[in-house]
Amino acid sequence: MKIELNTGLLPLFNINTYENCMLNGDNLTERLAYDIEESELSKEEKEQFYNKLCYEWNNNKWEEYLNKKAQEYLDEILEDLVYHNIVNMKRIKDTKIDSPREYNFRGDELDFTVEITEEEFNRIKNLVIDDEEFYKWIYKTYKSYDGFMSFMPYYRGDFIKAVNGEDIERSFIMMIMYLIKQSKQFNREMIQMDFEEKVNDGNVDVWDFIDKGICSKLYDKI
């Protein structure tokens, strides 16, 4: 069974780059800005460096790098879910970052596809199908409210229809998030911090994402 997911609906970790310096490359350019400020460049050269930096930053290269790191981290989380006996599923396609045209209503999301056996899906279903606490939780977590229309099957009857074939993806997401919560093995804040640290590890070089131009010429003088 193949299930298409994304981190918007299954928020294992957050990949949104909007105003997040740890995920949009600003953390790296801030390090570079410090090098510039502490350098022996003239005041005019420093200003020229700052002004050109945003134009020579290559967003496509950064997104490619971020997607690679996110895919690696996703695989680690999926392995942890197996280890803690929450769900046994595997990623079967390369991930892809889906960015909105504008960030008014949602942020960047990671699209991915997993494969799970019918037996494993039914095992998970049997864990929640008669669990009253599960139905209370999905109603509280996914219900509509003023200004927000939910497309999740958060009523008991709607969920049962969904999990039996009407909406496998959304019902699967609800089950996984509930089981993760019940396991108490996953601290989402710690997971997010860990992911952001891995994106900004010491091996990443800011110059991998800056096109050759005036910045490179000036950096040679630092």
Residue 150: is its pLDDT beyond 80?
Answer: yes
**pLDDT tens digit string along 13-49?**
999 999 899 999 998 888 888 888 888 888 888 888 8
Mean pLDDT of 73-78: 96
CB 80 within 8 A of CB 183: no
Mean pLDDT of 106-123: 96
Instruction: Please state whether the predicted TM-score (pTM) of the whole model is above 0.85.
Output: yes
- Residue 66 — very low, low, confident or very high, per pLDDT cuts 50/70/90? very high
**Per-residue pLDDT, 51:** 83
**Per-residue pLDDT, 207:** 84
Structure tokens at 175: 């089950």
Q: Say which residue, 49 or 197, is predicted with more confidence.
A: 197
End-to-end CA distance of the chain: 55
**Per-residue pLDDT, 56:** 87
Angle at 215 between CA 214 and CA 218, to 5 degrees: 85
Going through the chain in order, the beta strands assigned E by DSSP cover 2-6, 90-91, 96-98, 109-115
Q: Measured between alpha carbons, how far is 32 from 207 in angstroms, rounded to an integer?
A: 9
- Residue 156 — very low, low, confident or very high, per pLDDT cuts 50/70/90? very high
Determine the distance from the C-alpha atom of residue 105 to the mean position of all C-alpha atoms in its chain, rounded to a whole number: 16
Residue 173: is its pLDDT beyond 90?
Answer: yes
